[in-house]
Structure 1
C-alpha cells in the first residue's frame, strides 16, 4: 500500500508507522531529563519488549507495521548520493556549526556505520568519548567531560505521532515546539521526498521550515471534512491558521472545517490527544478535567476566497460540539478514571485517555490503567491491552506511539 490516506480516527487501520525504541534511550541521564522532555529513564530492554508486543497486537489485527528507521534506511540505500547531504543537515541541525567538527563527525559516521546502523546512530547521538575524548577543536571540547554528548540523542522518536500528521491524502510536516525534537522531522522529510511508497504522492499542508509550532498529538481527523486541532503547549494558533488556509485552498482536500480546541498549556495536557480520543462512531475517552464549558474556534473557508478564513468562537460543552460536527445524535463520553478524581489524574498522567483505535469500537490501551480499562469494556469497547511499565515513562500512550498511514475509506 502506497501513499497516505487517513480521513478518520476510527476506520480500520491498514498501515501504521512506528519507531522501535533504540540506544537513544541509553543516552538519557538524570540531569538532562527536563531538556530532553522525559520524567524518568525507561529500561531499554523492557521498553523494546513492550513495543514489540504493541506491534504484534497491530499485526494480529490486520495492520501492516512499518518502521521509521527501516524507511529511512531504504531511502539511503536507494539513493546513496543522499547520505552526505542528510548527515551534514543532521549535524548542522544538531548544533554542530564548526566546519572542522562537522567533517570529523561525518567521517566518523560514514567510516563506522552503514545502512540501518547509520540511521540508528543518528537517532542515538554521539559522545565526545567516542571521538577519542578531548581535542583542540574548541575551548569547549577541552573543558568538557569525556562522556559529554557532542550530538544529542532523540529519545522522543518512539512517539511517531508528533513529527507529522496524516490528513486525508496529505500531511502536516511539523515544526516542533522544543529544540530537542526539531530534528525528528528530518527523517519524514527525506522519506516523503524519496521513498518509493511516498515519492510524488504526498501533498504537504504544513512544512518543517514554517515559523509556527504544531505537533501531531494535537491533530485529530474527526470526519473526512472536519479536523480538530488543539491550541496547546506545543501547537500555536498561527500554525493552525496556516494549515487551515493550505487545506482550504487545495481543491483536492476534503477538509472544510477546522475546530481549534483551546486546552491548558501544561505538560499534563501536553496535546489534545492526551485529554480525549475517539474510540467509536459515538464514543470518546475523556479526561474529566476538560469537561464543562469549552472554548473552540470554528475555522471555515471564505465564500469568495478560501484563503480568507472565517473564524467563529463556539462556547459549548464537549458533547454538543462533537455531536454537531460529527453528525451523531448522541455521543458517549467515557471518563478516564471514572468518577474517581485521584484515579483520573493518575491514569491521565499514564495516558488512560490516549487510546489507539484500530477499528470502530476496538482500541489498544496501556495495561497499567486498570481503573479506566474495565470502564471501557463495560461500555462495549473491545480493549486490547499492551504492557506499559517502561514505555509510559516517556509520557505518551498507544496513539502517541503510532502514526496511521492508511485507514480504510
Structure 2
C-alpha cells in the first residue's frame, strides 16, 4: 500500500505521478480548447508536437530518477492529452482528493487506477459534484492550505475558472486544523497574459520560506499583499507579466534545496541559485504552450 504524505510543496519528494505526452492526439479544434494560451498557439500554427513533448517529459524522468524518486505514469489513452496530472487529483497530508475537473477529462483519473488501487480506501476523498477544484489551485503549506479560486457571478462564463468557493468550503471542512486561505485569481478566456488559470500560474513557495509571485495574477491586491507579508518581501521573487505567461511560477521542488526548472528561466534560475537552491534545468517550452509547466504535470504522493 502507498502511505501518502504531503505536508507542503518543498519537502523531500519520494513518489510522484508524472503525466505523459504519448499518444497526445491531434491538434485540438479551436472550439475545444480549455485555455487562451493553447488557443493562441493553435491559431499561430505553433502548437507543440508530440515528439518534442515526449522528449521534454523524458528529461524530467531522468532528473527524478537521479534523486531516487519513485515515478508512476498514467496508462496511455489513445489520442488523448494526459500531460497535466496535477489537474486530476491532489494529496494533502494522507488524503488523496479526486479533483472535480472538466467532465470530459474524467478518463485521466481512470488512467491512474493502478496507483489509486494502492491507496487505502478510507484515504480517498471524492467531493460533492458541485465542488469544482483542480490540483493546480491547491497548495498545502504546513499549517496552511492556499487555494486559488474565482467567486464572481460570471464564474460559469469562464472555462478558465476551475475552482469554486464551494470547493474551498469543502477543503475547510476536511481539514479543520488547518488555516485554509483562498485567493481570487484574474481570469480571461482570451488573453493568456491576463489569465491565471490556477494559483500555481502566479504563485509558488520554494525552499523553506521563499516564494515566486506575480501580482497581476491576483484580483484583490490585499490578498497578494498578504502572501508577500507572509513570506517577507526579501524572500519573494516577483515575476513580470511575460515571465508569468512563460510559466515561471510553475517549477517543481524535489526538496527544499533542489528544484526542476525550465532552462530558459534565466532570471529566476539565477535567483534560485543565489538562495542556495540547486536548479536542475530541463527543456519544457513546448509543453508550456498549453498553459502548464512542471508543477502542472506532477502529482506528488509522498514527501518526507
**Offset from partner CA, 1:136-156 (integer Å, 9 cap, x none):** xxxxxxxxxxxxxxxxx3x2x
Q: Partners in 1 of 2:175 and 2:296 — Cα distance?
A: 24
1:228 aligns with 2:227: no
Q: Which residue of 1 aligns with 2:204?
A: 277
TM-score (norm 1): 0.63
Match for residue 97 of structure 1?
none
Report if aligned partners of 1:293, 1:317 keep a CA contact under 8 Å in 2.
Answer: no
d(CA) in 2 for partners of 1:405 and 1:200? Answer: 15
> Are 1:162 and 2:161 an aligned pair?
no
Q: CA deviation at 1:199?
A: 4.0
TM-fit CA distance, 1:16:
0.6
Contact in 1 for aligned 2:9/2:253 (Cα 8 Å): yes
User: How far apart are residue 15 of structure 1 and its match?
Assistant: 0.6
Deviation (angstroms), 1:372 = 2.5
Distance 1:160 1:187 in 2: 10
Change (3 A) 1:257 1:367: same
Q: Contact conserved, 2:87 with 2:135, CA < 8 A, in 1?
A: yes
2:78 counterpart residue number? 124
1:311-390 to 2 correspondences below 5 Å: 316-322=225-231, 332-336=235-239, 344-390=240-286
Find the residue that maps to 2:86 and give its secondary structure: coil
| Deviation of 1:393 (Å) | 1.6
Q: How has the CA–CA distance of structure 1 residues 257 and 163 changed in structure 2, closer, same or farther, with 3 Å as cutoff?
A: same
Are the aligned partners of 2:35 and 2:291 in contact in 1 as well (CA < 8 Å)?
no
Cα separation, 1, equivalents of 2:198 and 2:248? 14
Residue correspondence of structure 1 range 14-163 to structure 2 within 5 A: 14-24=14-24, 26-32=25-31, 34=33, 38-39=38-39, 40=41, 41-69=47-75, 120=76, 123-125=77-79, 153=80, 155=81, 157-163=82-88
Deviations 1:5-34 (A, max 9, x none): 10111100111101221112x322453552
- Which digits, 9 at most, give the CA deviation of each residue in 1:205-253, with x for residues without a partner? x43x521210000100111x321111142110111101211333xxxxx
How many Å separate the matches in 2 of 1:292 and 1:187? 35
In the alignment, structure 1 segments of 5+ residues that lack a partner are 70-119, 126-152, 249-254, 297-314, 324-329, 337-343
- Counterpart secondary structure, 2:300: strand
Report Cα offsets for 1:30-64 as digits up to 9, x if no partner.
Answer: 53552587333211111101100011111112211
Unaligned runs of 5+ in 2: 42-46, 151-160
The answer on 1:211 being equivalent to 2:211 is no
Q: Secondary structure at the match of 2:169?
A: helix
Matching of residue 200 in structure 1 with residue 121 in structure 2: yes
- Equivalent-residue separation in structure 2 for 1:31 and 1:391 (angstroms): 18
Q: Equivalents in 2 of 1:334, 1:43: separation in Å?
A: 32
Deviations 1:321-362 (A, max 9, x none): 346xxxxxx7600122xxxxxxx2222111111111111132
Q: TM-score, normalised by structure 2?
A: 0.83
Q: Which residue of 1 aligns with 2:110?
A: 186
Which residue matches 2:44?
A: none
SS of the aligned residue for 1:273 comes to helix
Of the three residues 287, 293, 300, the one matched with 1:397 is 293
Secondary structure at 1:52 match in 2: helix
C-alpha distance in 2, partners of 1:59/1:391? Answer: 21
Question: Which is greater in Rg?
Answer: 1
Encode CA deviations 1:349-394: one digit per residue, 9 max, x unaligned: 1111111111113211111222322232233322111112322222
Question: What SS is found at the alignment partner of 2:87?
Answer: coil
- Residue of structure 1 equivalent to 2:12: 12
